[in-house]
Structure 1
Amino acid sequence: MVFSNKPVRFLLVALLAGIPYFGFANPVIDSISVVNEAVAEHSAPVTQEKKEFNATDLINSHIGDSHEFHVADWGGHPITFYLPVILWTDNGLEIFSSEEFHHDNSGEHVVSVNGQNLVRFNEVIFYADKFENLTEDQRKNGAFEFDTRPLNFSITKHVFSMFISVIILFLLFLAVARSYNNNKMAPKGIAGFIEPLVIFVRDDIARPNIGEKKYAKYMPYLLTIFFFIWINNLIGLIPFFPFSSNLTGNIYFTFVLAFITFIVTSLSGNKDYWGHIFTPPVPKALYPIMIPVEIIGILTKPFALMIRLFANITAGHIIILSLVSLIFIFETAWVSPISGAFVLFMSVLEMLVAALQAYVFTLLSALFIGQAVAEHDHH
């Protein structure tokens, strides 16, 4: 049922999982709308001044979060799926559709809600009167201008994508559990596909790094983060609604995942683990140096997890978007086939990266937990 070479088995299964996506997937956030917008800008009537193509603005808008899904353009009119805006304002809870902003993201259109005026700038919602007093730099860093904006609990594109991934994960393992309840000798269908992956996480990640005695306690967590990250990576590769969200390329999302691993590791640490940190095996005269170093080491581990996942996923999307943008920057026929060939190559590569980054995050999490629960012989 499984290959003897387990790493090769995992990579083959990962590629097989991506086969259904090869026909339409492209690791470009809303890549269809990227082309539509670029074509629209470059096909303006001759009586109008042609707008200069800005690849930076286009890339930033498509790898970031949003309060709405831009589905497509139809006859010059955008087709949009609006998401609910949920704010805790000075007057209490306010809920309304993002349609009220009329696609404005520059802080010009004012929305009046319960006697309060709100504007949206770079997907951050401000109080209109306070927004006018902000400098340009303060507006660009508006997410940290807490006194000028309400608390935002909106269902954004990334949150919507996360809900979809949770539903997929739940339905997937519910179907697997039901297949085992039928008392079949060998799993088939979805269970036959998932079982080698579960065995891979158990035998190649959990057991070697956590240990034979304690690995089972952490298997639910390791399996959850492995499939959760992998599914969200795959969702980000599908370039149409309701997918296409760059969730795992959001540093806030990767921070939360890394922080959970940090909490699990810290709560699992035994006396040997904490003893090594606060009473390191060095002369006591070096304690003032070594103890801060050990504490910093505790914090750098989840930081590495956070940056690694964020950087690898976002980099792939930026590269693909940059390759697509070359077509509209040079505006020559010979660039299109060359750019298309590189886009196809990167698409295949991103299918592997989607599985590889889920594997690396899970592996490092198991390694950190294993270091915390390891028991040392004292002589």
Structure 2
Amino acid sequence: MCTFAGFAAEPTETGEKGKAFNPGEVILHHVADSHEWHWFSTDNSNFVTYLPVFAYEPGRGLSSFSSEKLAEGKTYGNFKLEHEKLVTLDGGKVYDFSITKNVAALAMSSLLLVFIFASVAKSYNRRVGQAPSGLQSLLEPFVVFIRDEVGKKSIGPKYERYMPYLLTVFFFIWFNNLLGLTPGAANLSGNIAVTMALALITLLITLFSANKNYWGHIFAPPGVPWPLYIIMVPVELVGVLVKPFSLMIRLFANITAGHIIILSFISLIFIFRSSATGFIAVPFGLFISMLELLVAVLQAYIFTLLTAMYIGSAVEEHHHDEAHSPDNDFGTAEQRGGGSNLAHLTRPDVAAH
């Protein structure tokens, strides 16, 4: 996300009147996906990695070429880019399967996660029964925290089967949030398609894990007169979809908003074209950048916690009212090993003495 590359490349007044600086266009260019990876610019050149384009046209087949052929408004064959959207010159239908900036960032961050945790797993195998060290000691507190404070408390006894997903989604979001703050990086976790995919996976896991008690609360809400089912059942079904939708929007909005704020502060320097503005804009931009480091882990934690809570509500067992009746209190206490002295003293033969 937060690279200042685009700003250096913006036209300025150097003897002849250049194009006016457009902060909205620059900011959207930095937070949006693209068919090329723009690292940084100098006065004379741009440092760009051009990515492969794969386009399928019905009736014409698949075309593949470098995005360099479409750079700077150029056309290639029957294709051109309009606001980073691949279109055809004749207005025909085209399906874009290109390796965009976010797709490349997704592949690299996934490989990074695999490499890191494969290394940690090997460390655990080599140091059985020993205190953690190195990268293992850095990541273990987060793993234990997600297990004890998120998985166990939100899901309950069945938490272990869901820990691989909870840990994966936590570290995936956290790492990509941090990578998005580095100069030249992609805004992956601020892409609505990525957050939608994560929310959809959460929804599918929740639905396929749901027990009859969960579905019973949806299609036969307890304590509700049956005529009201006509209203309550659709409301409950909408609620099932709203939960992952809120996950998608929350992560997307928070990450994107932080990036836009930082870029907006930097844009002030180029809008007013005064170095004095930098003494105000740069400190505020740095402050927001430091705050984003906290937001990066916080948003990963919130997404993981809410995911665990949704799964927990789906696998929660039904508790019968009779299990909590006064007649069963002492028996239950004796089975737990607690309150046995009180139960013993209430026996008639003992109380008589």
Shorter-chain TM-score: which interval?
0.7 to 0.9
Partner residue of 1:29?
2
Q: Which has the higher contact order (CA 8 A, sep 6+)?
A: 1
Number of positions where the alignment pairs a residue of Structure 1 with one of Structure 2 = 318
CA contact (8 A) 1:118 1:126 kept: yes
CA distance in 1, matches of 2:33, 2:312: 35
CA contact (8 A) 1:125 1:149 kept: no
Letter in 2 for 1:257: L
Partner residue of 1:85?
53
CA distance in 2, matches of 1:195, 1:271: 36
CA distance in 1, matches of 2:29, 2:191: 13
Please give the TM-score of this superposition, normalised by the length of structure 1: 0.82
For structure 1, list consecutive stretches of 5 or more residues without a partner in the other structure: 1-27, 131-147
Specify the SS of the correspondent of 2:9: helix
CA distance in 1, matches of 2:163, 2:214: 21
Letter in 2 for 1:177: A
Letter in 2 for 1:272: N
Partner residue of 1:4?
none
**Offset at 1:277?**
0.1
**Offset at 1:183?**
3.1
Whether 2:234 is the aligned partner of 1:234: answer no
CA distance in 2, matches of 1:215, 1:102: 50
Partner residue of 2:269?
327
**Offset at 1:311?**
0.3
**Offset at 1:250?**
0.6
Letter in 1 for 2:79: L
Decide which structure has the larger Cα Rg and report it: 2
Please give the TM-score of this superposition, normalised by the length of structure 2: 0.88
Letter in 2 for 1:62: H
**1:171 maps to which of 85, 107, 115:** 115
The percentage of counterpart residues that share the same residue type is 48
Show CA shifts across 1:173-204 (max 9, x none). 11011111113411110111111111000001
**2:216 maps to which of 272, 275, 278:** 275
**Offset at 1:172?**
0.6
Partner residue of 1:187?
132
- Structural mapping, 1:56-205, within 5 Å: 56-90=24-58, 91-104=60-73, 109-112=74-77, 117-130=78-91, 148-184=92-128, 185-205=130-150
**Offset at 1:363?**
0.3
**Offset at 1:75?**
4.5
**Offset at 1:103?**
2.7
Specify the SS of the correspondent of 1:93: strand
CA contact (8 A) 1:248 1:254 kept: yes
CA distance in 2, matches of 1:245, 1:125: 19
CA contact (8 A) 2:53 2:67 kept: yes
CA distance in 1, matches of 2:21, 2:124: 55
The alignment's C-alpha RMSD in Å is 1.2
Specify the SS of the correspondent of 1:306: helix
CA distance in 1, matches of 2:212, 2:177: 37
- Structural mapping, 1:191-230, within 5 Å: 191-211=136-156, 213-230=157-174
Specify the SS of the correspondent of 1:94: strand
Whether 2:253 is the aligned partner of 1:311: answer yes
Show CA shifts across 1:106-137 (max 9, x none). xxx3211xxxx11110111111011xxxxxxx
For structure 2, list consecutive stretches of 5 or more residues without a partner in the other structure: 322-353
